[in-house]
Amino acid sequence: MAGDSNATKARLMDAAFSEFAEHGLAGARVDRIAASAGANKRLIYVYFGNKEQLFDLVIERCMAEGTEAVPFDVDNLPAYAGALFDHLVARPDLVRLVTWKQLERPGPVHPEAVASWEGKLDALGAAQERGHVDSALDPADILNLTLALAQAWFTAAGGLADTAQSPAPSAHSASSSAGGPESPARSRQRAAVVETVRRMTAPRAR
């Protein structure tokens, strides 16, 4: 039945996302994906072709959904950067998956993701014309740097995120994990991202 096949495809896609985020394309195993989805391994080849095609489909879905996961607020880019940071704290698997994609399958992204970026660039250009965003930088530079800053602490060199001094933990934060969303380190990192984007985009006094 169509309903059963669609449900199986959805389970396989979800299982593939987790497998690829953890192990990348080369390290992923179709038997683990099938077992996690509770499906026959043969169905991966029937529905998706091969492991590489399945990886591409997972990336396409991730990129298409990820570009709109956090609403774009062109009039408050610091808040947008903070919301992106929060989203990545909650979904570290997204950062891992995109990193694997860049390493193992570099190339064009999904057309829907491209259209989303183009819409954001148009909105940034219009905001610059209104004087809401500093016009010293190109809209593409502003968008790329904002995205990069929001992701910076999730791709920092090992140990770097722990080198800066953090405030002494309160009784509440002491119970949080070192990298949890309520930890002093995460709070400091988020504040740094928001403030940096604010300084980068704030209109200069004429």
Residue scoring higher pLDDT (50 or 160): 50
Instruction: Report the greatest alpha carbon distance in the chain.
Output: 66
For residue 72, the 8-state DSSP code is -
Q: What percent of the chain has pLDDT above 70?
A: 82
Amino acid occupying residue 161 = A
Residue 170 pLDDT class (50, 70, 90 cuts): very low
Residue scoring higher pLDDT (5 or 111): 5
* pLDDT of the residue at 169: 40
pTM: 0.77
* pLDDT of the residue at 14: 95
Residue scoring higher pLDDT (183 or 21): 21
For residue 155, the 8-state DSSP code is S
Count Cα atoms within 13 angstroms, Cβ side, for 131.
3
- Alpha-carbon distance of 68 to 128, in angstroms, equals 22
SS3 199: helix
Q: Quick: pLDDT tens for 67-119.
A: 778 999 999 999 999 999 999 999 888 889 988 998 998 876 667 677 778 99
Q: Say yes or no to pLDDT of 133 above 90.
A: yes
Residue scoring higher pLDDT (183 or 164): 183
Helix or strand holding residue 132 (H, E): none
Can you list the domains of the chain with their CATH numbers?
A: 1-66 (1.10.357.10), 67-206 (1.10.357.10)
Q: Quick: pLDDT tens for 13-68.
A: 999 999 999 999 999 999 999 999 999 999 999 999 999 999 999 988 887 777 77
